[in-house]
Each structure stands twice: as C-alpha cells, then as structure tokens.
Amino acid sequence: MLDSNIQYLKGVGPSRALKLQKLDIYTIGDLLNYFPVKYEDRRRVKKINEISEPGKYLLKVKIVEKPKHTKLKKKMTMIKAICKDDTGFIALTFFNNDFLLDKLIPGEWFYVFGNVKIAFGKFETANPEIERADKDWKAGRILPVYGLTYGLTNNEITKLVKTALETYYDRIQNILPEEIIREHGLTSRREAIRNLHFPSDSRKYSLAKKTMAFEKLLIMQLGLFNIKNNFSNEISHIKIKKRDLAERLLTSLPYKLTSAQLRVIEEIKEDLKGNKIMNRLVQGDVGSGKTVVAVYAMLAAVSSGYQASMMAPTEILALQHYETVKECLNLAGIDIKAEVLTGSTKAKEKEEILTKLKAGEIDIIVGTHALIEEKVEFKNIGLVVTDEQHRFGVRQRARLSNKGKAPHIMVMTATPIPRTLALMIYGDLDISLIDEMPPGRQRVITYVITEKEKIKAYDFIKEHLNKGRQAYIIAPLVEESENLDLNSAVEIYKELKSSYFSGYKLGLLHGKMTNIEKEEVINKFYEGKISLLISTTVVEVGVNVPNAAVMMILNAERFGLAQLHQLRGRVGRGSHQSYCILVNESKSKKSRDRMNILKRTNNGFIIAEEDLKIRGPGDFFGVRQHGLSKFEIQNIVNNVETLHQVQLISKKIMTENPGLTGPDYCNLKGEIMNLFKDETIIFN
C-alpha cells in the first residue's frame, strides 16, 4: 500500500530510509508526492552558435584533438578538450578526472550537458556531464531535479521514484471525484503524479500541475468552509451585550477613531451580542490601529462579566500589548485586573496568575503561547484575541479557544492578503478590514540602492543619529554562513562598531539570543541607550520606537515584499520624517522591479497584489499553516484562475453535498479530515 514504510520499496535499505526521512519521506506515498523542484530539459540538442547567453545546455560535439593534461598545484589536475559541432567550438575542462583522458578520443562524438560560459566570445564549460553519443543516454528527455540531502544523489532519488511508480502505479487512487475531473478536463491522480516526475511533454505537465493544484486547493478550501459552517452553526452561550467599559475607553482616548476602526467595532459589536460565536479576522496594515479595537472588544467582554485574553506571537509584543492595555485602563479610569503571562514569567508568579485566572480574579490576560499550555484554565473566558502577525497556526488558536465554553474569537493580522486569496487562506473566518490610516501619518520615504552605495547610506544614517534620531540595520542572517554569501547581523555589528560607527551606541539583536538578552537590548533601544540597532527580522513584529527614523535593510532581495513592508513599518511612527533604505544586492530585473514597488507605494494591499502578480500565489500560503507546506503549494499552485474555479466548486459542494456523502467523495473527505486533523471538522 502507499502508506507502507519506504523500506518496503525495492532499493531502500535501513540506511537509505534514514536519509529519505531527512526529506520527510517516510512512506511510499510520501516519495510519490516528493515532486521535483525543477527540471532539466534535455530534449533538444543546442548548436553552439545558438547559445547567446550563459546557461545549462545539451550539446553534441566532436573532440577536435588530443586533450591537454595539466598538473596544477596541490595534487590538482586538469584536462582541457577542444570540441566542435558544425557551427562552432567549445572548450571542456575537467578537474581531477584523469580517467577521462583515455576516453576523450579525437574524432569521436559526445553528448555534453553543462553550464556554458561565454568569455570574450569563446564558449567553455567546466565539469560537464559527458557520455558517448552512440549510447542511449539521458538526452532527449526532461529530467527531474529533486531537492537533495547529504548522501542521496539526484540519480538515486530518480531511480527510487521510478521504481515506486512502476510498482504502485495502479494503487494510486483519485482524490478528486470523477465528475470534477471530467467537468474541468483534469487528469487522473496517477497520471498527474507520473507527469510531475517525468513529464513527457509540456501539455501533459501543465495538466498534471493543474490537477494536483486543484486537488490541494479543494481539500484546503472545503476544509476551511466546513470549519466556518460548523462555527457559524454553533450557538453561542456567551452573550456580550453590555459595553459600558468599552464605551468609556472610546470617550477617553486622546484621538478620534478612524471611520474604518469605527466600522470594524460595529461589526464586532454585532457579532458579540448575537447568537453565533464570533470568528472574525481583523486585517489592517501596520499602524492602522488594530490594538485599540481589540482592547475595545475585550472591555466589552469584561463589561458583560467575562474574562478576555489576548495572545501575541512574541514576548516583546505581548509585553507591549500589556502596556497598551494598562494605558487604556488608566486613561479611562477603569478599575479591573489585567495581567501578563509569558515564557519568562517566574514560576511562582505564574502559579499565582493561574490560580487567579481560574478563580476569575483576573479580567484580562495578555500573553504568548504560554497561554495555550494545558494548565491554563479560565473561570469564564468570553473572548480570545490573537494577534496573529502570521505566526500562529489555526490549531494553536483552536486549542486556546477550547478552554471553557467556546468563546468568541478575534484574530488580528497585519499581513495584507490579496482579495483573491483571502477566501483560500482565511476561508474559515469573517473578515473585517481596517483600510484607513490614522490621520497625520507621515509617508516613509523609500530608497533602493546597490551594494556599492552602502557607504553613502551609512553616512545618511550617521546624519540622523547626530540629530538625535535612532536607526535600524537589518541583515538576513544571524551569523556568517559558509555557503551563502549574505550579510549576517553579528558580522555587520562587529564591522560597523569598529569602523563607520565607532563612538556610536550600537546594539545587536537576533533570534539566537535568550529572551532576557533580547528584552534587555530592546529596552535599551526604547530608552535611547542604543541608537543604532543591528538586527535580524526579529524586530519585524511589533517593536515600536517612535524616535527611530531610518530603516536600512541589507540583502533586501532576499525578503518577501510583505516582510519588507512590515520592517519598514518600524519607522515613521513618530513625528520625524522617516526613511527606508533597501539595499538590493541582486542584479536581476525581477528583483529591481520588486524593490521599486515598495518605493512607489506604502499601501500593504497594493504591495500584496503586486507580489501576487510577480511571484504567484504560492508565497502567501506560508502565511498561515494549514498543514499544506508552503513548499508543496508553491510548487503546484501556478495561477489564480485555478483558485477561482476551486472556490466556485467548493461553494457548490457545500450547498449541494455538505456532508461529502457518496463513494465518489470518500477519498476527498478523508484527505480533508487528515489535513485539518487537529481542528473541528464535522461532516454530517
């Protein structure tokens, strides 16, 4: 069977099985679903004079003369063979491959597959694959290229997949109902899987890709719709009708809410007093003012006699939210009990908080995932707010909400999802949008520069530091890495501290530091004891220092647009004109285009739509974990059109056959239950 251990496959022994496990391949089915990351098209032999730019090519060439054999230093040897086809010449070089010397016989023809470089009009390739042209070789086919792990070659994986396909082909069953396959001109699952590994032509490949995308998306969409159906049919025992404390907050705020905030508050009010459990996502760009909306909702719950909780993805953010809550209570002169619980709350204190929560002596609790630990019990939790910031999965949230009688749920996110995708990613939730910024917000000016202009940017930062402002420099890595040529926070910190910024107050922040260390650095930055913070993306979520006016991001090309937008949101929070400097260290046009989008607009939704156009929808699926890995989706979801079709079908199925009954839907139902196994999926 397909769920048999991979060891049962011919060619897999215990040691290979261990290596496959590193790739998350445990069963034969896993292997069949381990699709190539890309392909090498070896269908067509290129003529040398057809090559106009460097790249991987398949050539058929004749050895012109006896190859040259040279000894280089340190036991290195090199063979250089000049070859030709009927259009031009190319030099092949091989290092430490002496055994080839006898095989490269002048006058004989070879297939050569390798990276061709062009230097001063001459073609050359180093260490290409090479095989005599009279052999039936890999030429003439499209070859899969798999993600590899140490000790497993592409050839080995290819062979194993081939064996698995030959042995188990007939056992691969359709997940999509026949009817859907027929109606949408898709193909069978086995055919799709075969063509994703070994595409015979581009039409079959596209069809295979579309079929798998259809399948994955349908599983996900139906699952989400089912959750939503279940939730919205769930009668709420928690009626939040009184709101006096919440209203008191509104009248004591030093600013007027935007009309978007007011509209969302109305939507929440309606939900909370109704008969159904609220399941609402509040989406709003960085700085749009989601927190005060959340505090409003929590105070409404407390006014009606319930407890409320707010969960944040990081400790920093949890502490910040706690401060905001306390500030709101102060402003409005509200005398209720609020507490904060995080991973570093001391055991004794934690014990006390837990006891009080259970006894109902705490009204509002703010915290990190420490809040979803089994031990936390509430007396009467009425509302659970999650500041998702794309870190929490649905599952964790489901766990927290299951404490006590199903409470109302509100999720906040600053990740703008294009409208076309929202239903797929947040299909289980009602969506509210805060699509307006508080008045008077300044626009952060964004520059895109190349690596060469970095020094100028450092000078620019210095100018601002001298004026009393603070700044961030973001690097993609924590520490120097051997195989990636990227900036690391630790190195940059060391370098800048001893050179350009010696004499300035520098700080270093990254994810490998302990919570206490991190907190210390952030506090110093808050207090102005650090003026230039070198950091990884850990500052992405929530750090709020109004005096910070410059954000410089190294290797900006490595980040998603949404992430860059988030990082940029760390500046422009005070009254000083702020700047974002993106250092684009890639030379590609695509990368330049992406950076320029950020230069043009500060609107997160526009940025997301553009990212969707450039990079496809795959990227957005990582935003929320539904069990489908980002990688899996990225490989498969190629167009928004398929997404639309799937959404229409899902809606139709949910009205016509919500229980997914009948043999044709059996496999589909199983897959949905499996994907959402930790959540409330009920088909009846």
Minimum separation from the CB atom of position 550 to ligand ADP (A): 19
Of residues 176 and 286, the one with the C-beta less far from ligand ADP: 286
Cα separations in angstroms, 288 against 35, 55, 258, 285, 633: 41, 46, 9, 5, 30
Of residues 147 and 574, the one with the C-beta less far from ligand ADP: 574
Instruction: Report DSSP letters for 254-273, one per residue.
Output: SSPPPHHHHHHHHHHHHHHH
Structure token pair of residue 3: 């769920």
Distance between CA atoms of residues 542 and 321, nearest Å: 9
Structure token pair of residue 576: 């000083």
Of residues 195 and 288, the one with the C-beta less far from ligand ADP: 288
DSSP 9: S
User: x/- binding map, residues 11-50, to ligand ADP, per CB under 6 A?
Assistant: ----------------------------------------
CB 57 within 8 A of CB 129: no
Minimum separation from the CB atom of position 625 to ligand ADP (A): 22
Residues 292-311 contacting ligand ADP, CB under 6 A: 292
Of residues 281 and 286, the one with the C-beta less far from ligand ADP: 286
Of residues 570 and 594, the one with the C-beta less far from ligand ADP: 570
Of residues 329 and 465, the one with the C-beta less far from ligand ADP: 329
Minimum separation from the CB atom of position 296 to ligand ADP (A): 11
User: x/- binding map, residues 217-256, to ligand ADP, per CB under 6 A?
Assistant: --------------------------------------x-
Any contact of residue 396 with ligand ADP (CB under 6 A)?
A: no
Of residues 436 and 451, the one with the C-beta less far from ligand ADP: 436
DSSP 443: P
Crossing angle between the packed helical segments 515-527 and 315-332, to the nearest 10 degrees: 50
Minimum separation from the CB atom of position 295 to ligand ADP (A): 9
Ranked by CB distance to ligand ADP, the top (closest) residue is 289
Structure token pair of residue 88: 């031009």
What CA dihedral angle connects 602, 603, 605 and 611, to 10 degrees? -30
Q: Using the rule CB under 6 A, which residue among 414, 554, 582, 583 binds ligand ADP?
A: 414
Residue length of the chain: 684
Of residues 260 and 376, the one with the C-beta less far from ligand ADP: 260
Q: Residue type for 423, please?
A: L
Cα separations in angstroms, 643 against 63, 420, 472, 629: 52, 8, 39, 17
Of residues 543 and 636, the one with the C-beta less far from ligand ADP: 543
Residues 428-447 contacting ligand ADP, CB under 6 A: 438
Of residues 457 and 545, the one with the C-beta less far from ligand ADP: 545
Minimum separation from the CB atom of position 656 to ligand ADP (A): 40
Cα separations in angstroms, 202 against 37, 159, 210, 363, 630: 16, 22, 12, 61, 24
> Which run of H or E residues covers position 354?
helix 347-359
Distance between CA atoms of residues 240 and 303, nearest Å: 8
99 contact partners, CB below 8 Å, separation of at least 6: none
Of residues 236 and 261, the one with the C-beta less far from ligand ADP: 261
Of residues 208 and 384, the one with the C-beta less far from ligand ADP: 384
Minimum separation from the CB atom of position 255 to ligand ADP (A): 4
Structure token pair of residue 195: 């063509």
Minimum separation from the CB atom of position 13 to ligand ADP (A): 54
DSSP 483: S
Cα separations in angstroms, 155 against 119, 144, 194: 31, 9, 17
Q: Which candidate, 20, 30, 439, places its Cα nearest to that of 259?
A: 439
Minimum separation from the CB atom of position 414 to ligand ADP (A): 5
Residues 253-292 contacting ligand ADP, CB under 6 A: 255, 257-258, 261, 284, 286-292
Minimum separation from the CB atom of position 390 to ligand ADP (A): 13
Q: Which candidate, 346, 356, 426, places its Cα nearest to that of 625?
A: 426
Minimum separation from the CB atom of position 268 to ligand ADP (A): 15
CB 543 within 8 A of CB 502: no
Minimum separation from the CB atom of position 291 to ligand ADP (A): 3
CB 435 within 8 A of CB 263: no
Cα separations in angstroms, 413 against 289, 389, 390, 523: 11, 5, 7, 25
Minimum separation from the CB atom of position 615 to ligand ADP (A): 24
Of residues 257 and 548, the one with the C-beta less far from ligand ADP: 257
Minimum separation from the CB atom of position 574 to ligand ADP (A): 10
Q: Which candidate, 155, 138, 150, 139, places its Cα nearest to that of 36?
A: 155
Any contact of residue 416 with ligand ADP (CB under 6 A)?
A: no
Q: Which candidate, 308, 313, 311, places its Cα nearest to that of 337?
A: 308
Minimum separation from the CB atom of position 442 to ligand ADP (A): 12
Minimum separation from the CB atom of position 287 to ligand ADP (A): 5
Of residues 432 and 642, the one with the C-beta less far from ligand ADP: 432
Size of the site for ligand ADP (CB under 6 A): 14
Crossing angle between the packed helical segments 202-233 and 640-656, to the nearest 10 degrees: 40
68-71 and 38-41 strand pairing: unpaired
Crossing angle between the packed helical segments 154-168 and 189-197, to the nearest 10 degrees: 160
Of residues 286 and 633, the one with the C-beta less far from ligand ADP: 286
Residues that bind ligand ADP in the complex, under the rule CB under 6 A: 255, 257-258, 261, 284, 286-292, 414, 438
